[in-house]
Copies of this chain bind each other. A is one copy, B any other.
Amino acid sequence: MGPRQSFHDNLNNLVTDLLIMGDLVEQSIQKSVTALKNQDLQLANEVIEQELIIDEMELKIEDKCLKLIAMQQPMAKDLRKIATGLKIITDLERIADHAHDIAKVAIRLGSEPLIKPLVDIPRMAEKVQLMVKKALDAFVQENIDLALEVCKDDDEVDSLHNQIFRELLTYMMEDPKNISQGTQLLFVSSYLERIGDHATNLGEWLIYMVTGERKELND
């Protein structure tokens, strides 16, 4: 087995690592919002523990990427692929951070009665989780159309965020007792909106990897 063969094995390993990390991150989003909705503190604590594992994975994959670059001196598209890997893990880790933030809100609220049944927040969570999944599929398939789709999905997430924001404000204005929890839920909605932005970034990195051009798809 020549050194190039082993280089491409290493690249394939890198893709596998990214997918494992991505899978954990997707789970964290889903679990964090389920914990919030069902006031399930055990599940919230799982998310918090999972974030430590995801952080570790980021550092390990990063080390691998840097060593791969240093030892194999890849050029052009291979270098871009590894550089894309470095960017992807950064965005995945930020997404996990936000899932962790949501889990912390779930813990903060504890068993205090929710001011309203949560419907739109779980729907938003489902959408952003799907965006992350699509973006990673787009990366594996080097599928630019799929990456562009992720970007379109983000518009829906943004308008859902606006809608949730307005609705929560009305609850808070109706009764001052709703203000404290209302602000917590506003934060949750803004964390999910951020997750959508990071998923869009994932799509952008993929386009860079394939074309060599940086393109800003959201602002």
Residues of A within 8 A of B (CB): 59, 62, 66, 69-71, 73-75, 79, 82-83, 86, 90, 94, 169, 172-173, 176, 179-180, 183, 186-187, 190, 214
Contacts and interface: CB of A to CB of B under 8 A. Distances in A.
A75 B67 CA distance: 9
Contact of A66 (B79, B183, B187): B79
A49 to B, nearest CB: 12
Nearest to A73: B70
B169 A173 contact: no
Contacts of A179: 169, 172-173, 179
Nearest to A69: B69
Contacts of A183: 169, 172, 183, 186
A39 to B, nearest CB: 22
Nearest to A55: B216
Closest 6 CB pairs of A and B: A173-B176, A69-B69, A70-B73, A172-B179, A69-B70, A66-B83
A148 to B, nearest CB: 21
A180 B186 CA distance: 11
B62 A70 contact: no
A69 B94 CA distance: 25
Contacts of A66: 69, 79, 82-83
Contact of A73 (B62, B73, B86, B190): B73
A187 B187 CA distance: 8
A60 to B, nearest CB: 11
Contacts of A62: 83
Nearest to A87: B62
16 contacts: A70-B70, A70-B74, A70-B75, A71-B73, A73-B73, A90-B90, A169-B179, A169-B180, A172-B172, A172-B176, A172-B183, A173-B179, A176-B176, A183-B183, A183-B186, A187-B190
